[in-house]
Structure 1
């Protein structure tokens, strides 16, 4: 079936503020505050992404300001990397490397999964050779839920209903309200109901699915109160 899934490149912000390796601590703080972002990519020659500096990296300096590392050797060993960042003065010393990035041609679902695993709010978007192309944030990934209800319904009718149920017993109705899809009608093969539900859930902008599709009507049962009769072939009789 034809896919209309948006890619990261469709929703990313193309205007990116990036840091060089030698950017100073105070310059990084100014950039974070000025651009109101929680993290900045660090690039080298050719705009290739080599790391990311986040607010958490910057806050290490304040967080560990009063830690007495000489009092507890175990604490010092466990927090060695954090303590190093507390003493950092450049982007190269502060950054987390390698950077967690996402490809420009990745789907929004793939980007959301990377964010969840890495526990980050923004991802640098890269192309070939990790060249920086943009930034995608959590709010960018939510843009698909602004999609118009009728636009969602039309895609479901065209790409799913018409292909799965070309000859339904009754027309399959597709209704969408605030992203919630309701399917109703009678179809010939009810084994396709779970397939339809799964495909509809995969349509961008769909919040939930209420599947009320039914199979063929059941044949009316004989009245159990009627007495059974024995039928004989025409012309048959009893010889006495």
Structure 2
């Protein structure tokens, strides 16, 4: 039911190799309007990533503003992607939910994540912009998913009397169900649908458990 990275990621990825020089990395970032590029090793695996910040740090170092941290100094003094990259790369798989991807980007303070296969090969890249796609889904699309995947398929209970209305991502569930606990489950599962902003519970119940 949750939207996965595979559904929103960018498949055509701009990447560089570890021996790609500073100027070529900068040119790719500028030409393609991206802020980060994955760095591939000789076997095609993702060895790390180079960002605009990494390149700017290098220019600061060359201008005489040497960083005090020795590790940062070593990276800033580099001339190739392999020297400049942040490693190991923080990655996700196609099956990762966009919610998890968003949490990883937020926790790590990064704007995008390489998407890799089980053996580490680059498949694509997912950005904050891609993740936001799930929150701009139409109300009609959300209503359809809730009816089909939550009420009709996922819940082992009678939901024929439940009505769904969605306005600006806010879902209102109304109608009747047999038990209050069933209504609670329906509301909880609806909240898990990517793109749902909030759920208003207006379900009446025939009886409450003893």
- TM bracket (short chain): 0.7 to 0.9
1:87 partnered with 2:115: no
Bigger shift: residues 89-98 or 54-63: 54-63
Structure 1 position 198, deviation (Å): 1.4
1:150 partnered with 2:140: yes
5+ residue gaps, structure 2: none
Structure 1 position 68, deviation (Å): 6.3
Q: Is the 8 A contact 2:178 2:207 kept in 1?
A: no
Q: Give the paired residue count.
A: 205
5+ residue gaps, structure 1: 70-75, 219-240
TM-score between both structures, scaled by the size of structure 2: 0.87
User: Out of 16, 20, 23, which is 2:17 matched to?
Assistant: 20
Counterpart position of 2:46: 49
Counterpart position of 2:162: 172
Distance 1:68 1:167, change over 3 A: closer
Partners of 1:121 and 1:63 lie apart in 2 by 22
Listed one character per residue, the Cα deviations across residues 14-66 of structure 1 (whole Å, up to 9, x for unaligned) are: 11111111111111111111111111111022321101111111111234434
* Secondary structure at the counterpart of residue 125 of structure 1: strand
Counterpart position of 1:222: none
* Secondary structure at the counterpart of residue 204 of structure 1: coil
User: Out of 49, 55, 58, which is 2:55 matched to?
Assistant: 58
Counterpart position of 2:65: 67
Distance 1:212 1:114, change over 3 A: same
Partners of 1:160 and 1:133 lie apart in 2 by 30
Listed one character per residue, the Cα deviations across residues 144-193 of structure 1 (whole Å, up to 9, x for unaligned) are: 2232322321222233334354167xx22210112110011232211233
Structure 1 position 217, deviation (Å): 8.3
Counterpart position of 1:136: 126
Q: Is the 8 A contact 1:164 1:192 kept in 2?
A: no
Structure number, greater radius of gyration: 1
Counterpart position of 2:115: 125
Once superposed, what is the RMSD of the aligned Cα atoms?
2.2
TM-score between both structures, scaled by the size of structure 1: 0.77
Q: Is the 8 A contact 1:164 1:196 kept in 2?
A: no
Comparing both structures, which one devotes a greater share of its residues to strand?
Answer: 2
Partners of 2:203 and 2:47 lie apart in 1 by 52
Partners of 1:14 and 1:158 lie apart in 2 by 29
User: Out of 184, 193, 201, which is 2:191 matched to?
Assistant: 201
